[in-house]
Amino acid sequence: MWKKVAVAGVALAALAFAAALWFRRSAQPQKAERAATIAASPSVVLALISDLRRWPEWSPRERLDPAVRRTYGGPAVGLGSSYYWSGDDRVGEGRLTITDLSAAMVGVELELKKPRPADSDLEFRISEDKGGTRLSLAVVGQSDLGGRPLGFFTSADKTIGPELAAALAGIKDLAEKQAQVEAARVERSVTVAAPPAIVAAQLSDARRWSAWSPWAGADSGLDIRCGGAASGAGSSCYWQGGDAKGRVTIISNTPARVDAELEIDKPEKSLSDLQFTLAAEGAGTRVTLGVTGGTAGASVEKAMVRLTAAMESAAAQASGTASREQDVGR
């Protein structure tokens, strides 16, 4: 009888020890981590992670429910930006908030409400590695990404590891594709004898592009029609005729930068992003045009020559008008 009691006592002691160990471990955050090497610059990788609006492009969880509802809060990008989602039982409901941000690290707070309340922290660590990027992703908390508790009887690494690897694979694929596009970027700079205000005004109005555009200039004989806003975001011009058809649209504009999208349907389909950066240089303006994607890069040299002539002509006209107004006022 005493043997049975002794065995039972040992079993109870072992169970008590296991329970004590479980409670001790459950009070401590569990951690799972994976890493990958990416053939893209740290800046490209950082941009994908620090912009929560881009997470649906690479996160495997985002594909579980195509009808998931998303709401964003705080700054558009970076520290303090938040992303709220609500979907089916597979993705649940919750919030992501960027709580830490530097060139080497992005910290994200994950709060789940459904299917089960839970909190975790995501840590992305970024470092340069042989011309590319070494990226690690860790989850720290008491639960996995689905809110299931992690403790003595589960392994955080085994439970979350495959999902972390899938997330890294998504970032790697997207970053490397973007790096290839960036590598094909064409950039040229010129100094224009016109103040930045005149150059910015000319570039922000799509209707004025026909004075210099190598894609649809006024001397091209094309039917050119413009619409949208008179200037700034939404200002557009369309052209067609013979074997040519396309569109240019102003996407955004500030006194120091104008972004536009150039879409060509004929003679060959092409979509290019144009970025004009303006900086005062003496009495003139240093204009830098960067072209990413499409076929527009082949015409950058011609565009800059014609742009210079058009901007300086506009500046001369503005100066002449001002002089005449002063003469009338005397």
pLDDT of residue 51: 95
By CB atoms closer than 10 A (0-12, 13-18, 19+), residue 16 is exposed
By CB atoms closer than 10 A (0-12, 13-18, 19+), residue 264 is buried
- Contact between 227 and 248 (Cβ < 8 Å): no
pLDDT of residue 73: 94
Alpha carbons 272 and 149: distance in angstroms, whole number = 48
Whether pLDDT at 159 is above 70: yes
Q: Please write the tens of the pLDDT for every residue from 306-322.
A: 999 988 888 888 766 54
pLDDT of residue 61: 83
Whether pLDDT at 185 is above 90: no
Alpha carbons 133 and 142: distance in angstroms, whole number = 29
Query: How many other CB atoms are found less than 10 A from the CB of residue 256?
Result: 12
pLDDT of residue 115: 82
Whether pLDDT at 154 is above 60: no
Band of pLDDT at residue 22, cut at 50, 70 and 90 = very low
Alpha carbon 150 to its chain's center: 33
Share of the chain above pLDDT 70, in %: 82
Interval 51-71 mean pLDDT: 90
Whether pLDDT at 15 is above 50: no
Whether pLDDT at 20 is above 80: no
pLDDT of residue 314: 85
**DSSP states of 203-262:** HH-GGGGGGT-SSS-GGG--EEEEES-SSSTT-EEEEEETTEEEEEEEEEEETTEEEEEE
Band of pLDDT at residue 243, cut at 50, 70 and 90 = confident
- Contact between 90 and 72 (Cβ < 8 Å): no
Alpha carbons 253 and 232: distance in angstroms, whole number = 6
Whether pLDDT at 231 is above 90: yes
91 φ/ψ angles, rounded to the nearest 5 degrees: -105, -20
Residue type, 101: L
pLDDT of residue 18: 43
Answer yes or no: pTM beyond 0.85: no
Long-range contacts, 129-132 (Cβ 8 Å, 24+): 129/37, 131/39, 132/37, 132/38, 132/39, 132/40, 132/41
Residues 6+ apart with CB under 8 A from 320: none
Whether pLDDT at 13 is above 70: no
Whether pLDDT at 329 is above 60: no
Q: Residue 171 corresponds to which tokens in the numbers above?
A: 């970032």
Q: Residue 28 corresponds to which tokens in the numbers above?
A: 């401590």
Interval 133-138 mean pLDDT: 96
